[in-house]
Amino acid sequence: MVVAGCPWCHVATTEDPRVEGESGLWSGDELDLDAYLARIGWQAGRGGELAPDLATLRGLHRAHVRAVPFENLDVALGKPVPLDLKSLQDKLVGRRRGGYCYEQNSLFAAVLERIGFTVAARGARNRSRGATLPPVTHALLVVTVDGEQWLCDVGFGWQGPLEPVPLRDGVRVDQSGWTFGIKAEGEGILVLRSLRPQGWTDLYAFAPQTLYPGDFTVMNHYSSSHPHSRFLGQVVAQRPGEEARRALVRETLSVVRPDGTAEERVVGTGVLIATLQSEFGIELDEEERAGLERMHPTGV
């Protein structure tokens, strides 16, 4: 199968691997794949053709998280967060902005669907904030390759994986010095974990139930507008990295390295826009810059 209009893609099969009845679920046929590949810096020489195989999945996942930052700036500014593919392409690809989980994983699902992967969505409960019991608001993907399921998540921010993680109980994978694992619990729950100097830390837990774009819309409405949402009223920008992971939450910029060393500094209003650009690669227009400066909590 050759992906129409994409010079990178050749799939050596005549069968469509997508689940019957779900063809085009993520609007992959509407995707400008060439523009997306340019956005993430995909190089033709990295192995040749795109195909629904593990090498392609790993390469795309790592390239995406390296290029597209996690950020909530539209929510912070009180703007709507549409999840249709045209809007996602315009924002994350055309305007070189970032987004949070619903935006990033919806776009990534469209990319994978276009190439021919079997993609399903899941909803997760965030456990990275300690003993609190938050609602299920995180969105991730499960991709099946050669009969094996892989957790794919380009939208969990600075704590997320760089590459897919195999969904097997007890698995442990090293990704450029960052270690992730999967733990199975009762009722079919799977937990993504991260190994820190102090031991394993749960990141989030998810059930095997398949979610659909409409479910993302409902979850997105809560996260972008509910008064209890942690994304309202503050700037959040994050980026996982190989040598360091960075997070700006309100006025605090944190940098963590694989060996556990960390540093923090205050980002004042005067350097906020420059920090978003230099640390996260976020490009903003004049109205967005002014709006964020007005709401930033420190005048340092």
What confidence tens digit (pLDDT) does each residue in 269-294 have?
999 999 999 999 999 999 999 999 99
State mean pLDDT over 129-155: 92
Decide if pLDDT at 220 tops 90.
Answer: yes
Angle at 186 between CA 183 and CA 188, to 5 degrees: 75
Backbone angles phi, psi at 147, to 5 degrees: 80, -5
Decide if pLDDT at 59 tops 70.
Answer: yes
In the prediction, which pLDDT does 133 show?
A: 83
Residue 294 neighbours by CB under 8 Å, 6+ apart: none
98 within 8 A of 71, measured Cβ to Cβ: yes
Secondary structure percentages of the chain, helix, strand, coil, to 5: 30, 25, 40
Decide if pLDDT at 48 tops 60.
Answer: no
How far is Cα 84 from Cα 95, in angstroms, rounded to an integer?
A: 16
Enumerate the H helices of 121-188 as residue ranges: none
Angstrom distances, CA of residue 90 to CA of 32, 108, 114, 118 = 10, 14, 18, 25
**Share above pLDDT 90 across residues of the chain, in percent, rounded to a whole number:** 83
DSSP tally for the chain: helices H, then strands E: 8, 13
Decide if pLDDT at 242 tops 70.
Answer: yes
- Kindly indicate the confidence band of residue 1, based on its pLDDT and cuts at 50, 70 and 90: very low
Between 56 and 198, name the one with better pLDDT: 56
CA-wise closest residue to 210 among 163, 141, 111: 141
Strand order in the sheet with 165-166: 165-166, 148-152, 136-145, 118-126, 199-206, 190-196, 178-184, 172-175
Which amino acid makes up residue 105? N
Decide if pLDDT at 6 tops 80.
Answer: no
How many Cα atoms are found within 13 Å in the side-chain-facing hemisphere of 284?
A: 24
In the prediction, which pLDDT does 49 show?
A: 80
Residues known to be catalytic: 101, 138, 153
| pTM of the predicted model as reported, rounded to 2 decimal places | 0.91
In the prediction, which pLDDT does 134 show?
A: 85
- Could you tell me the end-to-end alpha-carbon distance of the chain, in angstroms, rounded to an integer? 57
Token code pair at residue 42: 């995909």
